[in-house]
Amino acid sequence: MKTTATPGAGAVARQEDWTIEAITEEFLANEFKLSRRKTAFLVQAIERTIQKAWDHTLDEKIRWAPASITLGLKLPECQDNTERWLEAPWLECAAHVADLLSPLPEQSEMGYETRRREMCAALDAPTLATQRHK
């Protein structure tokens, strides 16, 4: 799967209206491509969210992406998952997209090689299991 960041010639939505969900959906709709600005926005949003999750200051409810998104991304399972879920948190899906477009140059401070793995760990699997389908 080849992924690229492309120049954003005809931006339709304003940056303040961007969401990780909309950008993740756009990535799929555009055949695994995003503009450089949206890629940078997504990477920064995911890194801030991971930090908030580690700090236990993430105050948003975990929203679940539908199976169409996870299957479209060919989302591999998290290392610690014992059950294969067709749905996954939007944050995990977006972290996967950020990894595809802009891989980490080195391990994170917490020792993770991908944002997606770190997001899975930071969100805490038992908490995700209790919030699933609520």
What is the tens place of the pLDDT at every residue in 34-76? Answer: 999 999 999 999 999 999 999 888 888 889 998 889 889 988 7
- How sure is the predictor about 113, in pLDDT bands with cuts at 50, 70 and 90? very high
Would residue 124 count as lying in a domain? yes
Tell whether 89 is covered by a domain. yes
Separation between Cα atoms, residue 99 and residue 43, nearest integer Å: 8
Question: By residue range, what is the domain housing residue 45?
Answer: 16-131
3 domain-assigned:
no
Q: What would the mean pLDDT of 101-110 be, rounded to a whole number?
A: 95
10 Å CB burial of residue 134 (0-12, 13-18, 19+) is exposed
Domain count, the chain: 1
Helix axes 36-54, 20-29, angle to 10 degrees: 140
Q: Is residue 29 part of a domain?
A: yes
In a domain, 121, yes or no: yes
Residue 16 per-residue DSSP state: G
